[in-house]
Chains A and B, each alone.
Chain A
Amino acid sequence: MTMTADAPKKDDPAATSGDTILSLNNVEVVFNDVILVLRGMSLNARRGQITALLGANGAGKSTTLKAIAGLLRTEDGEITRGTVSYNDKDITRMAADRKVRDGIFLVMEGRGIVQDMTIRENLRLGAFTRKDADIEAEIAEVYKFFPRLQERKGLAGYLSGGEQQMLAIGRAMMAKPKLIMMDEPSMGLSPLLVKEVFGIIRRLNEELGISILLVEQNANMALKVADYGYIMENGKIVLDGTGAELVENEDVKEFYLGGGERRSFRNVKSFRRRKRWL
C-alpha cells in the first residue's frame, strides 16, 4: 500500500459534501492489547440527519459506538490509531463525561436502564451533566413524548422491553444532546414495538433536530428511516450510500434484507471482494 494510513477517504460522498457532525478516520481499536476489533473504520455522520450503521454480529458496530463515546476503557479496549472528531474537534482521547457534556449521548445496547431505580430517577440521571436544568419541567416534556411512562409506577426493572427502550430514549432527551447514538434499539422487541421505536427516532430527528447515529441489525427498518447508511464487516466499512441506494443494492438485499435472488456464491460476494484502498 502506498498511501498513508491516515489519509482521509476520498470516495466517500459524505466526507466531501454537507455539514459533518461526527467523523471517524481510520480508527483502529484493540482489546486487551492483542485483539484487533476495528481495523481502519471511517464514517461520517451529518448534522440533522439519521445515519445508519449496519452489519452482522461481531462486525464491530457496538465497539464503534463505544469508541466514539469513550467507553472502551472499562472493557480494556483502546483506540490505537486514527481519529474521532466531533464538530471538527478531535475528541479521540476525551474523557467520556466530557463528551456527554459536549452533546454526544450513547443509548447503550440492552437499553442501559438502571433497573433498581424508579423511572423518575432514571430520567433525573439523564440530566446529570446539566446542573442548572429545570428537571421537573423536562421530565414533564419527556412524559409528553412518552405518555406511557407516566402511568407506570415502581422500579424501572419491571418495565416491559419496549417501555425500557422508551425510558432509555427519554433519558437521552434529558441530556439535551446534539447527537444521539443508539445501539440496536429494536433488540428483543415485537414488530409493532419496533415500528413505534423507529417512529420515535424519526420524531427525535425531525422535531428536536437531534442528529442520530443508529446501529441496527434490523436493516430493513433502519434503512427506511436513515438518510445515509454504512455497512460494516470485520471492523471496517465495506459499503455505503444513501438509504434508498442501499435498499436497492443487490448485496445488501441478499445479506441484510432477505428476499434476494439465489445466484452463484461468487457473484453474491461481490462487495466483499472489491478492494477498498484507504
Chain B
Amino acid sequence: MNTSLLLQLLVNGVIVGMLYGIVAMCFVLIYKSTQVVNFAQGEFVVLGAWVCLSLVVSMGLPFWLAFLFSLVFMMVFGILVQVILLRPLVGEPVISVIMATIGLSIFMQATMNWIFGNNAVRFPQVFDQATVSIGGLNVETAYLMSLVLSLVVMGMFFWFFQYSRWGLAMRATAWNQQIAQSLGISVGRVFAMAWAISAVVSGIAGVVIGLVSAVSNSLAIIGIKVFPAVIVGGLDSIVGAIIGGLTIGILENLAEFVDGQYLQIGNMYSVAPFYVLLIILMIKPYGLFGTPDIERV
C-alpha cells in the first residue's frame, strides 16, 4: 500500500473538504435565513474567481487588492440578486423560487461564457514559493492559503452568529420571520445581508479554487457537488455543512485512492460522494445534523 500517496490524498481531502464546507455554508445560510434553495451557488463561486482573475490579468492589480475588490463586487452582486430577483418572489411557492435560481444559474453561465470565454485560465504566479514542506509533506502554498482562509471564514461565521447584533437577528429571522419583525428586525435587510455574506464567501472560495486549479466555467459544478455535503449535514445546520463538506472531501480522495490502487474503474472520484449521500439519506433522512425541533407538550 502506498502510504505517502494515501496521506497526501487525505490532506487534499481535508483541504478540499473545507472548501466544500464553506460553499455548503453559503448555501445553508441562504436556505436557512431566506428559505431559498440557491441553484446558482456554483456560479457565484465561479464569478468571484473570474472577477479576481480579470482584475489581476487585464488590469494588472496586485493579487491581494484584486481579491479585496472582487469581494466587494460579490457583496454588491449578492445584494442586487436578492433585491432585484428574489424580493418580488417573497411569498410565492417554493417551486417558483427554485425556477428563478435555476434561471439565474443559466443566465450567469451564459454571461460568463460570453464575457470571460470558454477556456480555463490559470492565475499568474501569486506566491513566491509554489509549495511548502510541512512534516515531510509537500503542500502547495495555495492549499495552505485555502486552509487558513477556510478556518478564518468559519471563525468569522461563528463570531457573527454568536455575538453580533445582526447575526442574532439573522438567526431569529431563520426561526420565524414574524417573530423577528415583532422585535424590530427588518427582514428585508436580513435577507439582503444573507445574500451578501453568501456571495462574498462564495467569492473567497472561488478565488481559492481558482488559485489551486484554474478558473473556468466548469468550476460551477462545485454548486452541485456541495449538495451531498449540505444534505449530509442536514440542510439547516451550519456546523453540519462544514462536517458534511469535510466528509465529502475526504471520501472523494479515499475513493480516488482505492480506485487508483486497486479497482481501476476510473472516475470513482466524482461518483462516490453521491453513493454515500444515498446511503446516509436512507438511514437518516434528515441528515446527520438536521436540528431536531424542540417539542414541548
Contacts and interface: CB of A to CB of B under 8 A. Distances in A.
A95 interface: yes
B267 interface: no
B172 A114 contact: yes
Interface stretch (B35-43, B103-111, B139-147, B176-184): B176-184
Given A114-B171, A125-B172, A128-B168, A175 B294 contact: no
A125 B169 contact: yes
A189 B33 CA distance: 32
Interface residues of A, number: 33
A158 B297 CA distance: 11
A155 B294 contact: yes
A112 B186 CA distance: 17
A114 B175 contact: yes
B184 A128 contact: yes
Interface in A153-198: 155, 157-158, 161, 171, 175
B184 A175 contact: yes
A101 B177 contact: no
A74 B90 CA distance: 9
A125 B291 contact: no
A76 interface: yes
A45 B261 CA distance: 79
Interface of A: 69-71, 74-76, 95-97, 99-101, 105-106, 108, 112, 114-117, 121, 124-126, 128-129, 131, 155, 157-158, 161, 171, 175
20 contacts: A69-B181, A69-B182, A71-B182, A74-B181, A95-B186, A97-B181, A97-B186, A100-B183, A108-B182, A114-B172, A114-B179, A117-B171, A117-B172, A117-B175, A125-B168, A126-B183, A129-B183, A155-B294, A158-B294, A175-B184
Interface of B: 91, 165, 168-169, 171-172, 175-179, 181-186, 291, 294, 296
